[in-house]
Structure 1
Amino acid sequence: MNAVIYHNPRCGTSRNTLALIRHAGIEPQVVDYLRTPPTRQKLAELIAAAGLQVRDAIRSKEAPYAALGLADAALSDEALLDAMVANPILIQRPLVQTGLGTRLARPSEVVLEILPVIATPFTKEDGEVVKPQAKPDPRR
């Protein structure tokens, strides 16, 4: 299975998500989106594919959010996308794409929705254990 993770190596959730993908036996394409941000079109596609609204994919706790006045509810999705492309630190992370879908992996276990079933427990950086998923019932 192919996978792409839009990753920030300084983010614990992003590091845990990357490790969880690898735990599932997949070596993903890792995109350091701060150094190589997605295009505006690609970002819009990722957000839509993840089932998010643009505002849900923006990091409101980052300094540029306040400095650019992005809390203004009247701002269009286009204006928010422009701000995210110009200031990639505003992109919520990690976004992950696989053949099974696209997710914003917050918390990191959300990525399990688009990965093959894991067979063994996974331990996050903070010691929290993610248990193997139940096998899908073939009768459903």
Structure 2
Amino acid sequence: AVCNSNSIPCKDPPDKLFTVHGLWPSDSNGHDPVNCSKTTVDAQKLGNLTTQLEIIWPNVYKRTDHISFWNKQWTKHGSCGHPTIMNDIHYFQTAIKMYITQNQNVSKILSQAKIEPEGKPRKQVDIVNAIRKGIDDKEPKLKCQKHNQV
């Protein structure tokens, strides 16, 4: 998990879930465009989405400031999802829907494959195979952080 692969102190989610770090739209060539708009997240409009986002998409570096993290993800990645992603609220609703209602709950999928967030190294092929099995053989796109040659 990110807390085990980064020198910046952070706090794992208390219930030891694999959580969302971002929803990164890709273009038709598979590239991830960034910073497509200067719009920011309207925290007031998030309303009741906030509670769900704090569980599935927490800021593990600063648990008291999720909004700045979500804003960074929206500005850098989510704003590039237009026209599929209509605005910031739709971006976060889409992430919640994918995680909760479309059987794309990575924590659940990996747990079923006996892969738990225990802070130990995992083979990428095991993670990919577990996710593929859990989401109808679709290929997941992973971005791994290397830490101490892991």
TM superposition score normalised by structure 2: 0.25
Between Structure 1 and Structure 2, the one with more helix by share is 2
Between Structure 1 and Structure 2, the one with more strand by share is 1
